[in-house]
Amino acid sequence: MAEEEPPAPPESLPKYLAEGLPKQDSETLSETREYLEELIDWSQRPIEEAELPADVQPVEDTSETHGTVVEEMVTCGDETCACMSDGEKHGPYLYRYYREGGSLTSEYLGKP
């Protein structure tokens, strides 16, 4: 009777994990699964208002779809613009704040 091959790993899995995981015993694999579930929960935890920039207005909590949508006033970076000289910012604009790799990241969504 021929030995069965382990399941194929996802293509996105780094080679060192794809090669190393099948070599682990059942107990280590179970502990790894528990750790991965905790890590996924941690990376998808809701964004607290205190984590957002101070001058944003949350519009919509989309934690279940990965993030929080906010209205934000921004500076354009043009040194000749009034937003740089007198602090009169542009906007509001919509941004989605979400977690990526454990870090808080934002994505521009457009005007409200």
* 38 and 89 co-located in one domain: no
pTM (global) more than 0.75: no
* 106 and 61 co-located in one domain: yes
| Listed residue (91, 90, 98) closest to 60, CA to CA | 98
| Listed residue (53, 45, 54) closest to 102, CA to CA | 45
Rounded to an integer, what distance in angstroms lies between the CA atom of residue 56 and that of residue 49?
Answer: 9
Q: What residue numbers bound the domain in which 16 lies? A: 12-43
Residue 7 is assigned to a structural domain of this protein: no
> 93: which 2 tokens?
């604009």
* 78 and 36 co-located in one domain: no
The one-digit pLDDT tens for each residue of the chain (112 residues) are 556 888 999 999 999 999 999 999 999 999 999 999 999 888 888 888 888 988 888 886 555 557 889 999 988 888 888 887 777 889 899 999 988 877 899 999 999 8
Number of domains, the chain:
2
Rounded to an integer, what distance in angstroms lies between the CA atom of residue 40 and that of residue 105?
Answer: 17
* Predicted pLDDT of residue 33: 96
* 59 and 89 co-located in one domain: yes
Rounded to an integer, what distance in angstroms lies between the CA atom of residue 89 and that of residue 73?
Answer: 6
Rounded to an integer, what distance in angstroms lies between the CA atom of residue 30 and that of residue 36?
Answer: 10
